[in-house]
Every structure is written in C-alpha cells, then in structure tokens.
Amino acid sequence: MDALRRFLPNLTTNKLVRWGAIGGAFALLFALVIFLSEGELSGLGFGFLIIGVLGLGAWVLIAPEELRDWLSGRQVYYGTGTVVLIVVVIAVAVTGYAFAQRQNAITDLTEFNLFTISEPSREAVEQLGNRMAGTGFEARIIGFYARDELRERKSAEFLLRQFVEEADGWLELEFVDPEAQPQIARQYGYGAVSVRGGTGSGPVYLGLFSPDGQLVTVEPIGSPGERNVATAMLRVAVAGQFKVYFVRGHLEYDPELPTDIGLSGAATVLPEVGINIELLDLPVVDEIPPDATAIVIAGAQTPFSQADVDKIDAYIQRGGRMLVLADPPYIDGRIDASIGTNTFLLEDSPFNRYLWNEFGVRLQESIVADSGSSVQNEFNLVPGANPVIEVTSGLDQVPIIMPLVRSVEVVETPEPETNQAAYRRDVMLFTTQEAFGERTLQVIDLANLASYDEGEDIAGPLALGVAVRRVNETELDIQPRVVIIGDTDWLTNLFIAPEDGSSGVAGNILLWNNIVEWLTRYSEIATIQSANRPDLLPLVLTDQQQSRIQFATLVLLPGAVLGLGLIVWGIRRRH
C-alpha cells in the first residue's frame, strides 16, 4: 500500500474501495448481461458476479461511513435521477433483448421485408396447410440437437419459428436431444442413411401426425435452410398426387418380387418420395385410370393386342406419360414352362407399329454386341449417355450397365400420314461405332461370340434408348412423354438393390431416378424454387455475427451512455 501511495500520493483507502465499488457495479452489470443473453450463469458470468460482490462488499465493510455520507450527500441528491435513468435504460435494453431472443420474437422493420422468409416459402406453407385443412392431422418440425449444440439450435430456431408463425396454428416446433431420447431419434431415422441421397439425414425433420397423435409421415429436411424447409413442406403437400402404374397382363417383370430378377428395389423407392404405385392389368380394364401420372411397361413377354394399344393411345392423347422397356426377342426371356419365349414388340406387332406411326420410334429384332464399350463380354453393354437432355443429365460420367440389349430405330424424316412430325425424339443412350445389332437371333454362346454380317446385321452406332416429347411442348396444354429402352435387366434388383445388400450400380439408379422425374415432373412440382429477389438477407446468422450484435447492443451502447454520463458528472463536479 505504501509503494502504491508513492506513485499515487492522493490515493486513500476510501478512494481505493470507492473505485472498487464502481468496478464491482460494472461487474454485476456484466454478470446480468451474460445471464440474460445465455439463459444461465456461465463461468464468465459467475466470475463477474464474484468480482461485483467483493467490490461492493469491500466498500460497505471498509468505508461504511462514506457509503452513508454518499447516500445522503449532495451528489446523490442531484445525481440520483440520472443514475436511476441510466440503470433503467440499460436494464430495459438488456431484458428486452434477452426476452426477444428467448421467445424468438420476429419483427421485420425493413421496408421490403428483407429478413422475412420468401414468397415461395410462404406458398409452400399455404399448400401444406390447405392439404391438412379439415383432416385433423397436425404437422411438427423436429430438430435433433445435443446439449453441446445450443448455438446451432438457436440459429435453427430463429428460422424455423418463422414457418411456425406463418402456419397460424397447425404447425408446431419441437427440439429433442438425441442422446437423452434415442428412441425418438430412431423413430425419425435421425442419423440413418438416406435412401434418396445416400448420406446421413438430419438434424431437422418434418413429421405428420394423425388425429390420434400417431406419426404417419416423416420427411427429412436436413440442414435448417429456408429452401430445405419449404421443399420438405411442398413434398408432403403434393404426396399422393403422383401415381405410377406398373402394367401387367403380358408376363411383365414383377415390381413386388424381391429377388434379383424382380423390380421391387426400383418400385419401393417411389413411395419414399411421395409417388404412389399400383398394378394395372391392362387387358382387363376398360381404360388407363385418369389418375395415372405415368405407366411402366417393364419387360413384357407376350404381344399386346390391338385393344391394349388403343387403351394406351387414348391415354397418350390426353397427355399420358409412358416408359417402355423391352428385351431382345426370342433369346432374352425368363424361359420356363409357364412363360415360354419372349415375343414382345416384334417388328410387325400392333404395339411396335403404333410406336412407329405415333412417335417415330420402334424396337428392332436384334441383340446388340459392342466390343468398344462393354464389361465381361460384348453383350454386357456400358452405353453412352447424352448429357444435353434432361433425362440423362449427369450420366455421361457415371457408368450404366445393360446386359442383353436390343437396338431402337429412330425415324430420320417424318413420314406422311403419321403423327411423327408432332414429336421430338432425343437419343438418350447409344453404343460406340464398333457396335452392331445381331439379327440372327439365337441362344448366346459366350465361347463363340457374334460377328458382324454385312447386309444382315445392323451397323453401329446404335440407339438403345430414346426420349420422346411433343414439339414446342411448353406451348401446349397436352404434353405426353415417352421413354423407350431396349432392355429391362438394368432395372432389376440385381443392379438397383442386390440381395447381398450392396449399393447397386450408381448409373442405373440415377437413370431410373431421372426417368421417373422426367416423366412425372415430380422435381419441378415438389421442389421449391429459389427466391427471385437477390436482395433477401440471410435469416440465420453465424455465431460470430450474433456475438457482435450482442456486444454492440448489450455492452457497447449502454456502456457509451453510462460513460458519457460519468464524464458529464465529472465535469460538473470540478466546477
């Protein structure tokens, strides 16, 4: 103390404890700010509390007479109003900020609503609300955040709360600690592998609950971004509006069969994205149902009658969508006593003639050999994919495997007295120049592979798959679409969902997804579009941005007011 007084000769014990009391008051203020902003007294806040209590306690214990004189003195008489006003302003600012942060109170005061969810997001909320109106169902957004993810949860809550407010009562928000409640996490599939994306899903989900409180639908949202939330809502809203019929009645591949030659892997993935599937016995029904978004004809083994073709034509003329998969005739069939030999889409059959006269596309009686792009043998093709058209976009770098394929003929110049000129034909899958279509169809002998016979076989390159749509489609009200591929095996479980549990051939899976989306336009309807306004500001701030705002509003501005008051008080005291 003596050494300190030599440097500060006017310093007294009373002055020292007085300055300690001032520091203690600031420390208590900081502790209050930390407590209100974080919702708990953290280590730093507790430290400020101890400093404040010690500072004020020392003043009371060491200089109680000064405290008594100060409370009854002239400076308090004249300065009490100012001090009280400053404290009230700080307390109101801190308390209001903390309350708004805890309650996620949302008020956008900008002229153009720059901090509000976009119009497409509000439309998604409205669509889901309309879908649920009068059903008794309720929706809930569930976020899975552990205790050490408090900041991430607060950031997510700020955005998600806006969707809840927009929903006007039918949407709730709930947060769950997956470590404390693992059974709920498992119920939503938190952390499980996503069938759609192949990546871990979470941490936010949209759940749909029946009137009795049972969870009936789980739609993964992923990260809490505005577009992710709105897209999930839109997917739930449009679920059930899409229906794909698998045609049967001609010994087609079975979409319910789980073995390697079944199509269950391709079929069961559709309901997971909101597309319903049904079987359609074409020879029995009078017409293809009006609610059919698309029909799939997968590897039929027997010919279609003219009556079957007429039903398909009526469906196409009202804007129907169709996928036709056809294997090489005679040699590529599931041959047993009950099935016999594949005679589907022979060149003079009614269905093949219809495909040619209507769309300018038909299946050829051939089996394609391609030594330039194949695996194991020349009949196990790895076709090229056209990256320019939608249906094969992104597939030029992802191998597709197609065993035992027949070629597809595409008209070069539309013929008179046909509808060919009304359609645009895009070759989506093709062979190399070295390929040829073997016309002398016989049982394949891998020890004695095919050879090209000029004048008999079809020279490459060959089309293996074609996508057909109307010319100037966007200007028309009726927009039929057709995909024709000369193979069915590529879609079987052997390549899409193998029995051994492996992931399947990525190119085949992507091709199936692209075909379904192109035919149904599911991605266009069930995906939220980006906001058209580039001036929209981010709704979720980073931790650093939040810390800066908290420091400015809770410390810097109140501190500036208090500091200015102390300066004014000091100047007046000198005079």
List the domain boundaries for the chain. 2-102, 119-237, 241-526, 538-575
Residue 543: pLDDT band with limits 50, 70, 90: low
Q: For residue 529, what pLDDT is reported?
A: 57
Residue 291 — left, alpha, or beta (φ > 0 → left; ψ -120 to 50 → alpha)?
alpha
Give the lowest-confidence range in 188-197, 269-278, 549-558. 188-197
Element (DSSP H or E) covering residue 11: none
Give the lowest-confidence range in 221-235, 336-350, 370-384. 336-350
**388/409 Cα distance (integer angstroms):** 20
Higher model confidence: residue 107 or residue 216?
Answer: 216
Residue 575: pLDDT band with limits 50, 70, 90: low
C-beta separation of 203 from 171 below 8 A: no
Higher model confidence: residue 419 or residue 93?
Answer: 419
Query: What is the pTM assigned to this prediction?
Result: 0.63
Residue 34 — left, alpha, or beta (φ > 0 → left; ψ -120 to 50 → alpha)?
alpha
Query: What are the structure tokens assigned to 395, written together?
Result: 């597939």
Give the lowest-confidence range in 410-424, 471-485, 500-514. 500-514
Residue 532: pLDDT band with limits 50, 70, 90: very low
Give the lowest-confidence range in 113-117, 275-279, 310-314. 113-117
Instruction: Give the mean model confidence (pLDDT) for residues 17-25.
Output: 69
Q: Per-residue DSSP letters for 265-278?
A: HHHHHHHHTTEEEE
Give the lowest-confidence range in 176-185, 227-236, 453-462, 522-531. 522-531
Please choose, from the candidates 315, 415, 310, the residue with its C-alpha nearest in 3D space to the C-alpha of residue 356.
415
Instruction: Give the mean model confidence (pLDDT) for residues 423-451.
Output: 82
How many percent of the chain have pLDDT more than 90?
A: 39
The tens digit of pLDDT for each residue in 132-177 reads 888 888 899 999 998 888 878 888 888 888 888 888 888 999 999 9
Amino acid type, 513: N
Q: Where do we find the tokens 């049972």?
A: 214
Q: For residue 542, what pLDDT is reported?
A: 55
Which residues, including other chains, have CB under 8 Å from residue 139's CB and lie 6 or more apart? 128, 132, 167, 170, 171, 172, 206, 207, 208, 209, 236
Residue 13: pLDDT band with limits 50, 70, 90: low
Higher model confidence: residue 133 or residue 344?
Answer: 344
**230/168 Cα distance (integer angstroms):** 16
**394/408 Cα distance (integer angstroms):** 22
Give the lowest-confidence range in 265-269, 337-341, 349-353. 337-341
User: How far from 9 is each of 339, 452, 570, CA to CA, in Å?
Assistant: 112, 111, 20
Give the lowest-confidence range in 147-151, 364-368, 443-447. 443-447
Element (DSSP H or E) covering residue 248: strand 242-248
Query: What are the structure tokens assigned to 353, written together?
Result: 């003639």
C-beta separation of 402 from 487 below 8 A: yes
DSSP SS3 for 491: helix
**392/507 Cα distance (integer angstroms):** 10
**76/64 Cα distance (integer angstroms):** 16
The tens digit of pLDDT for each residue in 246-265 reads 999 999 999 999 998 899 99
The tens digit of pLDDT for each residue in 320-332 reads 999 999 999 887 6
Please choose, from the candidates 440, 447, 426, 443, the residue with its C-alpha nearest in 3D space to the C-alpha of residue 514.
426
Higher model confidence: residue 114 or residue 322?
Answer: 322
Residue 75: pLDDT above 60?
Answer: no
**102/490 Cα distance (integer angstroms):** 54
Q: Provide the residue count of the chain.
A: 575
Give the lowest-confidence range in 199-208, 310-319, 535-544. 535-544
Pairing assessment for the beta strands 321-325 and 294-298 based on DSSP bridges: parallel
Alpha-carbon dihedral of residues 178, 180, 181, 182, nearest 10 degrees? 60
Query: What are the structure tokens assigned to 347, written together?
Result: 């060149």
Element (DSSP H or E) covering residue 467: strand 463-470
Q: What is the mean pLDDT of the chain?
A: 80
Q: For residue 184, what pLDDT is reported?
A: 87
**24/17 Cα distance (integer angstroms):** 10
Q: Which residues pair with 220 in a beta bridge?
A: 205
Instruction: Give the mean model confidence (pLDDT) for residues 437-462.
Output: 78
Fold of 241-526: Rossmann fold (3.40.50)
C-beta separation of 275 from 325 below 8 A: no
CATH number of 119-237: 3.40.30.10
C-beta separation of 540 from 313 below 8 A: no
Amino acid type, 173: L
Q: For residue 420, what pLDDT is reported?
A: 97
C-beta separation of 203 from 186 below 8 A: no
